[in-house]
Amino acid sequence: MSGANVPPVTSVAALYGIAHRIEADAAERYVMLADQMETHNNLELARMFRDLARAERLHADKIRDLAGSIGIGDGGGPIGPWKSDSPEAADLYAARYDMSPHDALRLALAAEERALAFYTDLAAAKVDRAVRDLAASFAVEEREHVALCHRLLERYPPASAVRPGDPDAPGDR
Amino acid sequence: MNAAEPLKCRPSDYKSEVKPIWCPGCGDYHVLMALTRAMAALGLPPERLAVVSGIGCSSRIPAYTNCYGFHGVHGRSLAVATGLKIARPDITVICASGDGDGYSIGGNHFLHACRRNVDLAYIVMDNHIYGMTKGQPSPTTEPDFDTALAPGGTGLRPFNPLVVALASGANFVARAYSGNPNETAELIVDAIKHPGFSFVEILSPCVTYRPDQRSWKDRVHPAPVTPTDDPARAARRLMTDDGFNLGVLYRGNRAPYKPPTAAAMLAPESLDEEFVV
Ligand SMILES: Cc1ncc(C[n+]2csc(CCOP(=O)(O)OP(=O)(O)O)c2C)c(N)n1
Ligand code: SF4
Ligand SMILES: [Mg+2]
């Protein structure tokens, strides 16, 4: 996903902008997934994705507050700074109409892990000290989110497809 | 604000209230995301944009934007888009198809739209299958793709849309992968800005009938060459292309088709010219 497409982060102001963008993109993606699940009548998952979107929006607001007068800029404009995709945005290709809460949490875990990798790499990069320190503090937060996903995964063990024997499964001909 | 200055828009400003009904996991969600990001980057108000399509899962895309939209007849998206652009050159026209819509039933329109070089952007969401009608092979399906609908595969050589576009006169040829929505958005912006007929083939997986296409994310790679304006060079590259090179592969400089002005069309002597044998 984000992979080698990490945008250059040369200042604290740029990092606030990118950090805000990461959370906003994550929230937008969960809203998309919630809408998809609602359309396909998987209401439990729709609720779960809406909760995840709410959590990401709170993180975005927190970053805006932290940035204070430095501001968050435009986070790379309408297209965004990544060539491929924003690191914490859930992988849409992994979605299925009959996915279980466990599957959704796996999706969220992978997204949080990508964000953690992004900040960990940046904290170790040859950039300004202040940028590294801020990236390290964001990495601490992301590590907590990763741990939270692991705890939730224990609560929602793997389930087989939520609609076994669906007489009208999409792949059937 | 200066009239020519782009508006400050967000991608959400271009999304309609209609929720997509594509299968979760479908690549077309990413294409919609890329398209609305591209529109926001262009900064054009929705009423200066039109999205025209044919029929297929991919062709549902106009309904999910709040620009002018036309969900047309199967295979005829380019005919409608061409007519619209000629009648309203002030509108930015984006034409959208699937591989069935654009290369099978609409294949002839594709050739002539490239040849005419009207100033519009054509995006084809290619999943190498007819998704909407439950998985029949399309012109880009691999010959050995084995399904209950084509046991053992069709055995037919797939169509190479980029080579066909180039040979038919398209002025801009690019390939994108929907899983890279930002890069896809940049390519759509580039295609819209480039004068003449711009073709962007977007590899957009059908997770329902082609779950194997989830592996496309590991197969795509940036084209290792800079875009050329030399059709012969572009043709050589495209003929040996592995089907997964991403980026602009040809950027031509042919002048776009210019329709006669309304005044010229109304002049009686111009009618005589039309009947000269
Ligand atoms: C004139 C006509 N012929 C056939 C059809 C049936 N039909 C609907 S969609 C489709 C194929 C769509 O394939 P593609 O363009 O690849 O779109 P996808 O669903 O894969 O996105 C066909 C054959 C039709 N609607 N109209
Ligand atoms: S059938 Fe395929 S192309 Fe159609 S919506 Fe589903 S995944 Fe997408
Ligand atoms: Mg198709």
Q: How many CB pairs under 8 A join A and B?
A: 76
Task: Return the ligand 1 atom nearest residue B204 CA.
Answer: 21
What's the pLDDT at B72?
A: 93
Q: Which of B10, B17, B29, B134 is the best mutation test for A, with the most CBs of A within 10 A?
A: B29
Minimal Cβ distance to B24: which of A78, A95, A171: A95
Nearest by CB to A84, from B10, B25, B183: name it: B183
Quote the pLDDT of residue A166. 79
Report yes or no: B1 at the A interface, CB cutoff 8 Å.
no
- Confidence category of residue B1, pLDDT binned at 50, 70, 90: very low
Q: Is A100 on the interface with B (CB under 8 A)?
A: no
> Residue A162: its pLDDT value, please?
62
Answer yes or no: do A84 and B180 touch at CB < 8 A.
yes
A125 part of a folded domain: yes
| pLDDT surpassing 50 at residue B76 | yes
Does the residue A169 lie in any domain? Answer: no
Distance (Å) from CA B179 to ligand 2 centroid: 15
Write the pLDDT tens digit of every residue in A130-169: 999 999 999 999 999 999 999 999 999 888 656 767 777 7
Residues in Cβ contact with A125 at an 8 Å cutoff, skipping those fewer than 6 apart:
A132, A135
Whether residue A1 is contained in a domain is answered as no
pLDDT at residue B273 above 60?
Answer: yes
Mean pLDDT of A48-74: 94
State whether A79 and B38 contact (CB < 8 Å): yes
Average pLDDT, chain B: 94
The CB of B130 under 6 Å from ligand 1? The reply is yes
Backbone angles phi, psi at B27, to 5 degrees: -65, -20
pLDDT at site B97: 98
**Rounded CA gap, A172 and A98, in Å?**
14
More confident residue, A106 or B6: A106
Q: Classify residue A126 as exposed, middle or buried by CB count within 10 Å of its CB (0-12, 13-18, 19+).
A: exposed
| CATH at A75 | 1.20.1260.10
Asked whether the whole model's pTM tops 0.95, one would answer no
Query: What pLDDT shows up at residue A2?
Result: 41
Contact B24 A40 (CB under 8 A): yes
* Phi then psi dihedrals of residue B89, to 5 deg: -60, -15
pLDDT of res. B92? 98
d(CA B138, CA B126): 10
Q: Domain locations in chain B?
A: 11-275
Provide the domain count of chain A: 1
Phi-psi group of A159: left, alpha or beta (phi > 0 → left; psi -120 to 50 → alpha; rest → beta): beta
Which residues are registered as beta bridge partners of B49?
B92
The nearest alpha carbon in chain B to A90 belongs to B25
Question: Are the Cβ atoms of A82 and B209 closer than 8 angstroms?
Answer: no
- List B residues 29-58 in contact with A (Cβ-Cβ < 8 A): 29-30, 33, 37-38, 40-41
Tell which of A2, A50, A84 to mutate to test the B interface (max B CBs under 10 Å): A84
Give the pLDDT confidence score for residue B269 in this predicted structure: 74
Pocket mutation for ligand 2, best pick of B23, B127, B203 (most atoms within 8 Å of C-beta): B23
Q: Is the CB of B206 under 6 A from ligand 2?
A: yes
pLDDT for res B52? 98
- Which tokens go with A42? 């998987």
Compute the distance between CA of residue B46 and CA of residue B1 in angstroms, rounded to an integer.
Answer: 18
Fold designation for B11-275: Rossmann fold (3.40.50)
Q: What is the mean pLDDT of residues B21-37?
A: 97
| Alpha-carbon separation of residue B46 from A5, B124, B199 (angstroms) | 30, 21, 22
Say what the pLDDT of residue B275 is.
75
Domain contains A132: yes
Which tens digits make up the pLDDT trace of B136-185? 999 999 999 998 889 999 999 999 999 999 999 999 999 999 999 999 99
Asked whether the predicted pLDDT for residue A5 surpasses 60, the reply is: no
Tokens representing A63?
């970053």
Contacts of B185 in chain A (CB under 8 A): 78-79
- Sequence-separated (6 or more) residues with CB below 8 Å from residue B218: none
The whole-number pLDDT of residue A160 equals 62
A96 interaction partners in chain B (CB closer than 8 Å): 24-25, 207
Residue of A83, A92, A163, A168 to mutate, interface with B, max B Cβ within 10 Å = A92
A1 pLDDT more than 60: no
Partners of B122 in the β-ladder: B95, B199
Q: Residue A26 sits in which domain range? A: 11-155
Average pLDDT for residues B6-13, to the nearest whole number?
84
Write down the pLDDT at residue A161: 58
Q: What is the mean pLDDT of residues B189-211?
A: 97
Rounded to whole angstroms, the Cα distance separating A10 from A127 reads 7
Indicate the length of chain B as a whole number.
Answer: 277
Three-state SS sequence of chain B: CCCCCCCCCCHHHHECCCCCCCCCCCCHHHHHHHHHHHHHHHCCCHHHEEEEECCCCHHHHHHHECCEEEECCCCCHHHHHHHHHHHCCCCEEEEEEEHHHHHHHCHHHHHHHHHHCCCCEEEEEECCCECCCCCECCCCCCCCCCECCECCCCCCCCCCHHHHHHHHCCCEEEEEECCCHHHHHHHHHHHHHCCCCEEEEEECCCCCCCHHHHHHHHHCEECCCCCECCHHHHHHHHHCCCCCEEEEEEECCCCCCCCCCHHHHHCHHHHHHHCCC
Residue A110 counted as domain residue: yes
Model confidence at B19: pLDDT above 70: yes
pLDDT at A49 over 90: yes
Question: Using a CB-CB distance cutoff of 8 angstroms, which residues of chain B are in contact with residue A85?
Answer: 179-182
CB contact under 8 A, B214 and A82: no
Render pLDDT for B210-261 as a digit per residue (tens, 0 to 9). 999 999 999 999 999 899 999 999 999 999 999 999 999 999 999 999 877 7
